[in-house]
């Protein structure tokens, strides 16, 4: 009956939503709700189905993180323990909420992709994984009230269709302040909100906000002669959350999600060093079927720019542009 009510609610509200650009196809979401409700067994024979259980392998998740994420010992540990623990908890008290912070190219998008792929075979293309990009889906500050209504509708409809839905919010540092607070009830410790349980859903926020604070800690360790692997979460997390909360240019500015402690983990992504860029390049070579050429690896890494200007410790673009640099060498 809950799915039937959710489907009816979507039908009644659909006409008011289609005028706006949708980050997910409301028609597909609606079809999924109705078909999964009326013909669940038949439907699951031909399409991905939320009811089809897929166990999460801790070993597989660990392997993906080790093979695809470099220089991020904190992020690896947090993501592995948080995601595996949450998925294997039959009765979580609230949705899993992760906020990933760091400079561009440090691995935030890779991590959200890895999480999606380890939970759903379709990964980011799964019907149960939903990506929102602030500048694309919520571009105009004048429409913030409309966006709030749409966001609540989209999340409610998709969680009604699949309790284990994953929502990824990219460019949180570019989101209009106050907008994300619309989903606060869904992240809180409620058994039900208007008849729908959100406790098995996963919310992931990606942001550059707080990157300066993360860099300050990493640079202090480097200047003190300490290993970056000695950095603990306690060295960064509190200062990071305060920095993001007070950042007027962030979608989390004075957000109730932070004020009410509804974000389970603020995950810092450290700025990458020269050796980490070389790791990225080698993996990309292998993924393209090339033999590892250390000369090209070094040449590509040396073309990247680093900061601070005097010490040149960290890459200012992370692994973001190494792929296009690699194209240049192989095109030659």
Q: Is 264 exposed, middle or buried (0-12, 13-18, 19+ CB in 10 A)?
A: middle
3-state SS class at 202: strand
The confidence score (pLDDT) of residue 12 equals 42
Please write the tens of the pLDDT for every residue from 90-143: 999 999 999 999 999 999 999 999 999 999 989 999 999 999 999 999 999 999
Q: Which residue has the higher pLDDT, 12 or 314?
A: 314
Average pLDDT over residues 207-227: 96
Domain boundaries, the chain: 58-269, 274-327
What CATH number belongs to 58-269? 3.40.50.300
For residues 279 and 70, the answer to whether their CB atoms sit within 8 Å is yes
Please write the tens of the pLDDT for every residue from 53-74: 567 999 999 999 999 999 999 9
| pLDDT band at residue 320 under the 50/70/90 scheme | confident
Binding-site annotation: residue ranges:
102-109
Buried residues in 197-227 as b, exposed as e (16+ CB within 10 A): bbbbbbbbbbbbbbbebbbebbbebbeeeee
Give the residue from 321, 301, 323 showing the smallest Cα distance to 312. Answer: 301
Binding-site annotation: residue ranges for ATP:
102-109
For residue 141, the tally of other CB atoms under 10 A from its CB is 11
Q: Is 39 exposed, middle or buried (0-12, 13-18, 19+ CB in 10 A)?
A: exposed
Say yes or no to pLDDT of 246 above 90: yes
The confidence score (pLDDT) of residue 64 equals 97
């Amino acid at each position: 009956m809950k799915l039937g009510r959710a489907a009816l609610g979507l039908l009644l509200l659909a006409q008011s939503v289609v005028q706006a650009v949708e980050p997910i196809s409301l028609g597909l979401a609606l079809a999924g709700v109705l078909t999964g409700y009326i013909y669940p067994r038949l439907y699951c024979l031909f399409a991905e189905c939320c009811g089809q259980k897929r166990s999460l392998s801790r070993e597989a998740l660990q392997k993906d993180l080790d093979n695809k994420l470099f220089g991020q010992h904190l992020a690896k540990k947090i993501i592995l323990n948080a995601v595996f623990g949450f998925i294997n908890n039959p009765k979580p008290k609230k949705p899993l909420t992760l906020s990933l912070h760091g400079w561009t190219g440090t691995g935030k998008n890779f991590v959200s992709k890895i999480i999606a792929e380890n939970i759903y075979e379709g990964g980011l293309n799964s019907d149960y994984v939903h990506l929102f990009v602030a500048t694309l889906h919520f571009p105009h500050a004048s429409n913030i009230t409309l966006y709030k209504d749409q966001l609540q509708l989209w999340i409610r409809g998709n969680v009604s269709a699949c309790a284990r839905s994953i929502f990824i919010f990219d460019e949180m540092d570019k989101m209009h302040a106050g907008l994300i607070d619309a989903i606060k009830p869904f992240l809180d410790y409620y058994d039900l909100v208007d008849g729908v349980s959100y406790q098995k859903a996963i919310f992931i926020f990606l942001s550059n906000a707080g990157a300066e604070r993360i860099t300050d800690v990493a640079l202090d360790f480097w200047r003190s002669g300490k290993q970056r692997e000695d950095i603990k979460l306690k060295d960064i997390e509190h200062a990071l959350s305060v920095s993001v909360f007070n950042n007027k240019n962030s979608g989390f500015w004075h957000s109730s999600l932070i004020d009410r402690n509804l974000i389970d983990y603020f995950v810092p992504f450290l700025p990458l060093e020269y050796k980490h860029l070389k790791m990225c390049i080698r993996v990309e070579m292998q993924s393209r079927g090339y033999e590892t050429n250390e000369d090209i690896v070094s040449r590509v890494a040396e073309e990247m720019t680093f900061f601070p200007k005097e010490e040149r410790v960290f890459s200012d673009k992370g692994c973001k542009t190494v792929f296009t640099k690699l194209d240049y060498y192989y095109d030659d």
